[in-house]
Structure 1
Amino acid sequence: MSDTYLELANSALGKKLFSAMGLPEPVALVREDSQHAHNLSGQVLIEGSLGALFTDSVGSFLQGTSMQISDPLVAEKRHLIYDASGIATAEQSAELYNFFHREVRSLPACGRVIVIGLKPSAADKPEQGAVQRGLHGFIKSLAKEIGRNGSTANLLMVEKGGDAAIEAPIRFLLSAGSAFMNAQILTASTPVAAMEADWQRPLQGKMLVVTGAARGIGLAIAEVLARDGATVIGVDVPQAEKELTEAMERLGGLALPLDITSDGAATILRDFCSAQTSSLHGIIHNAGVTRDKMLARMTDHQWNMLMQVNLGSVQRINAALLDTELLDSGGKIVGVASISGIAGNAGQTNYAFSKSAVIGMVETSAESCAARGITINAVAPGFIETQMTAAIPFFTRQMGRRLSSLGQGGLPIDVAEVIGFFVSPQAAGINGNVVRVCGQSILGA
């Protein structure tokens, strides 16, 4: 469904009208070109604090892209990368202030700010760890200041051994694929598997499963994975078989009509994958339902049915796949949570429980998955323009769109792009992360 307010705000007449009336003017976000995805462009200024650890390596790998490294003495519009990993004291935090105080006005529309820091546990001293934790508050506040320009600010925290894994997240955060990802913290850890792959077609020759793939966010995920070279096994309920088959034929994938809550569904899915490949690159647990009702009026069926779709099936499918070696040495598991699972929402006790449990799945499984060369991560979408959100009342829909730093709702492709990053081989050092794809929604901020 189109956002008429956003379209009007970006029209010639609308700009004059909105400006005269003092109305918010959200900027139309720049997203990936489906024909030329993952191409980085524009100017980028890279600086670091005294004692920064990653500045040189960032400059080195970005020189191999189509981005232009900006001269700090030249006044021009540019993206900003600041390596704050050397900041160890309250006094030294002034270096962070000085850089952004000087440069934040140079951001272009839909610009990117990336700050690099150390995971507090990776700092040499507790005092430095505490100061590095301060970067969380800084990035979330800065993101709210620059969001009106369509710009985003995100933080990359580096664990011990994670220095080998920083290229993929920095490339992604600079790309148009991260358009609706704002004020998020990614953690880079020691890579758990090989990271070699083509930057333009990172999933070439790979096979991945997407549940709930017939429409909406699931279809967008399948499209992005296919664009990046993957063969997609799309799974959806038998009632959606026609839509699913047509979509998979268009994408060169395989359709598996299956009710994932039915008896033996996890085994059927595992055996179907085993018949296609000896090495499954990943699974995206996208299938989900809502059954909203205030708790006092909610039936046990509304609770139990939702729990089996959103959580029980995910656990059974993971168990079935991990009982084999299909995902070992490079496999990816991605859960689709929700900001409702982070912040809660009235009338969604069942949904919020299930989505919070998906986050728990990531947090409790990351270590054991890493030991087998597997990463597990999750996305938590906010307000995304889908058939489901199109059906909610007008004023509620407008609030969902406007109550974020970017002043608009996201698109299914915004969720899909983050998942595409998570499952890329180059993201082998991104494990145990939960990323909100919400434009920095006020809900749960």
Structure 2
Amino acid sequence: MADRYQKFTSGAVGGFAARRLGLPRPELLRRFRPGDRALVGPVLTAGGGRLGKELAAVLEAAGAETGPAASPGALVFDATGLTESAELARMYGFFHDRIRTLAPCGRVLILGTPPDRTGSAREAVAQKAIEGFVRSVGKELRRGATANLLQVAPDAPGAIESAVRFLLSARSAYVSGQVLALGTVPAHSAEPAASAAAASSLASTDPTWSWEKPLAGRKAVVTGAARGIGAVIARTLARDGAFVLCVDVPGQAAALTDVAAAVRGEAMELDITSATAVPALGARLRREDLGGVDLFVHNAGVTRDKTLGRMDRTQWDTVLDVNLRAVETLTAALLDPADPLLRPGGRIVCTSSINGIAGAAGQTNYAASKAGLIGLVQALAPRVADQLGGTVNAVAPGFIETRMTAAVPLFVREAGRRMNSLRQGGQPIDVAEAVAFLAAPGSGRINGQTLRVCGQSLLGA
């Protein structure tokens, strides 16, 4: 759906009018296209923390331009060496001197330590303070720039490359003001991370693997794949090399078949709330040509919006059945200790929502279901890591331009678009890129996390 206001203010006349009237001017975000450079650049780094050498190796492997620049594309500060609040001034000094030179659609990235994994109370204070700093910087940035914090546990060496590549690339265009933790859930039998040090070993064991096709040879399932965000997720996973089994209800058969054909995958008509859903899906996934699944994306979802006093039981049950209970049932089959459908090192990604974090009037059923998915991810993360060396995470989209949001009344729609730091709605591809990132081999130390794809929405935490 076109954002006519953004298009108008991007022109000379509209831009002039917006400046004179003090109106927001949403930047046209730079999004990834095959063939683009891996990272925005040039990249300017500082900090001197424990991740300095690893960061330098990642940037070199990604072919990033580094060093001084009049208009840097990214500012990266390794704050893992900050052990008390007085040292936060070092971070202030680096960004104070350079933040106004950041290029359009630039990136601010800070590397820190999870406060609960620090060595002292003073260090925990300093590391927690960084969260407030990053979220505030994200709200100050303009022209499509973003700011994020990557917290890396001390015992998670070689784990940052996938996250750094994502957060410093155009793939993360609508991710800002977020805190992402690595290595906070033990992964006793996890597959090797695709870091600068481990990439060569992955390539040697699987000659089809590359950063351009990180999901080559992987089998994926996407529910709700016939249209909207689900269809774009299927296309994005296929772009990255995965074989995709596209699942949706029989009523979406024609659209589902078209998506499956476009991604050279397969279509499966299935009501995930039915009593036969688990045996039918299990039979399909156990076929010799599949042999289980490496990635399962729980994307199917419905809305039945009414204020609580006007919501009937059917509307409540329908949303909870599709959005939450079916996910619980299917995930139990994926992790069945006797015969799991999820293969070793596999990934589960759930599509939650910022309304599951912040709530929304008229959506008690929907918000409850989406908050439940976040709870499911947090509860299952240790088990998935211990049982299969895999991960379970969620993405939480904000206002995304879809047919569903196109039906929202005009003024509500405009408010939804502008109430974030990027002052615009996101695109389905923004959610799909986040799912692909969490699915990638190098993201194996990200577990139990909920990554918001909302342009740093002003709603919620």
TM-score, normalization: structure 1? Answer: 0.96
> How many angstroms apart in 1 are the aligned matches of 2:351 and 2:36?
23
Alignment-derived partner of residue 352 in structure 1: 367
Name the structure 2 match of 1:3.
Answer: 3
Number of residue pairs aligned between Structure 1 and Structure 2: 439
Q: 1:183 aligns with which of 169, 177, 182?
A: 177
Q: Give the equivalent residue in structure 2 for 1:296.
A: 309
By how many angstroms is 1:325 displaced? 3.5
The residue matched to 1:156 in structure 2 has which SS?
strand
Give the secondary structure class of the aligned counterpart of 1:377.
strand
Tell whether the 8 Å contact from 1:115 to 1:155 is kept in structure 2 after alignment.
yes
Q: Alpha-carbon deviation of 1:124?
A: 1.2
Spell out the pairing of 1:4-403 with structure 2 (5 A cutoff).
4-33=4-33, 35-36=34-35, 39-49=38-48, 52-71=49-68, 74-146=69-141, 148-189=142-183, 192-195=190-193, 196=202, 197-275=209-287, 276-323=289-336, 324-371=339-386, 372-403=388-419
CA deviation string 1:119-139 (max 9, x = no partner):
112211122012101111111
Change (3 A) 1:86 1:159: same
- Is the Cα–Cα contact under 8 Å of residues 121 and 159 in structure 1 kept in the other structure? no
Distance 1:307 1:155, change over 3 A: same
Alpha-carbon displacement from aligned partner over 1:370-425 (angstroms, at most 9, x marks no partner): 11211000001110000000001000000000011000000000000000000011
Residue 344 of structure 2 aligns to a residue in which SS?
A: coil
**Displacement after TM superposition at 1:89 (Å):** 1.1
1:119, 1:132 within 8 Å by CA — same for their partners in 2?
A: yes
C-alpha change, 1:427 and 1:38, in structure 2 (3 Å) is farther
The amino acid across from 2:362 in the alignment is G
State the SS of the aligned residue for 1:282. strand
After TM superposition, give the deviation of residue 328 of structure 1 in Å.
3.5
- Cα deviation, residue 214, structure 1: 0.4
Q: Displacement, 1:198?
A: 1.1
Give the CA deviation at 1:90: 1.6
CA contact (8 A) 1:270 1:317 kept: no
Q: How far did 1:250 drift?
A: 1.3
Match of 2:459 in 1: 443
Tell me the CA shift for residue 194 of structure 1.
2.6
1:46-105 deviation digits (Å, cap 9, x = unpaired): 1115xx11012101221122320123xx53333111000111112111111111101111
1:407 aligns with 2:402: no
User: What are structure 1's unaligned runs of at least 5 residues?
Assistant: none
| Distance across 1 between alignment mates of 2:292 and 2:213 | 18
> How far 1:193 sits from its partner (Å)?
1.5
- Distance in 1 of aligned mates of 2:421 and 2:348: 29
Aligned-CA RMSD value: 1.3
Give TM-score, length-normalised by structure 2: 0.93
What is the deviation of 1:187?
A: 0.7
Q: State the one-letter code of the partner of 2:213.
A: R
Aligned mates of 2:41, 2:95 — CA distance in 1: 19
Partners of 2:182 and 2:418 in 1: how far apart?
Answer: 31
Q: Alignment identity in percent?
A: 45
Contact 1:118–1:132, Cα closer than 8 Å, also in 2: yes
* Structure 2 residues not aligned, in runs of 5+: 194-201, 203-208
